[in-house]
Chains A and B, each alone.
Chain A
Amino acid sequence: SQTIHQWPATLVQPVGSPLSLECTVEGTSNPNLYWYRQAAGRGLQLLFYSVGIGQISSEVPQNLSASRPQDRQFILSSKKLLLSDSGFYLCACGQGVTKLFFGSGTQLSVL
């Protein structure tokens, strides 16, 4: 079964600073990869998904971008963080229409 590595677990960044969150997956090949954000109040919002290397689809226009340089690597970035970028960021992995598995998440606080 697949393992999802996501780091760091917590991150405090000043407004206007850059961001790079990395997610790597083991135990599977050619997975669908996802970035979700969970704000206070519980709901999960899909930010980006990718069905292959270099293929990125954005669900919500925002200050963030994503890249997939390798089959099992998914990166979430920002050039300049905003206060509203604070939240809990989760990477997820799936194979087609099957169970979705999540990493342990990164709690981002922008101050």
Chain B
Amino acid sequence: GIQVEQSPPDLILQEGANSTLRCNFSDSVNNLQWFHQNPWGQLINLFYIPSGTKQNGRLSATTVATERYSLLYISSSQTTDSGVYFCAVGGGGSNYKLTFGKGTLLTVNP
């Protein structure tokens, strides 16, 4: 199956800093999503982005499918951005089944 690697595994920031999270995948995909898991365990869908660039407020994401990576940008980080960020991918005939990376644990300090 598709392998998904996320980096860095852990990231500590001061409030107001910017950050870039990376997701590499081992095969062609036609489904890629980014999620944020808050400290209470709730998973929130941030982006559905199999290719191209999208922006939502302080968050933006870019997927370069031909080079098999996606980036999540967080600008002017806030303490509420803390949590685990997951990249999940699906491809081929099973593109509705997502394989998750191990996530990036982001801690934003005040």
Contacts and interface: CB of A to CB of B under 8 A. Distances in A.
Contacts of A32: 96
Contacts of A49: 96-97
B41 A104 contact: yes
Contacts of A43: 100-103
B69 interface: no
Contacts of A100: 33, 45, 88, 98
B69 to A, nearest CB: 19
A94 interface: yes
B42 A105 contact: yes
Contacts of B86: 44
B103 A97 contact: no
A51 B94 CA distance: 12
A97 B33 contact: no
Interface string A73-100: 0000000000000001010001011111
Contacts of B43: 90, 102
A3 to B, nearest CB: 13
A94 B60 CA distance: 22
A19 interface: no
B30 A97 contact: yes
B13 to A, nearest CB: 19
Interface of A: 32, 34, 36, 41-44, 46, 49, 51, 59, 88, 90, 94, 96-102, 104-105, 107
Interface of B: 30-31, 33, 35, 41-43, 45, 48, 84, 86, 88, 90, 95-103, 105
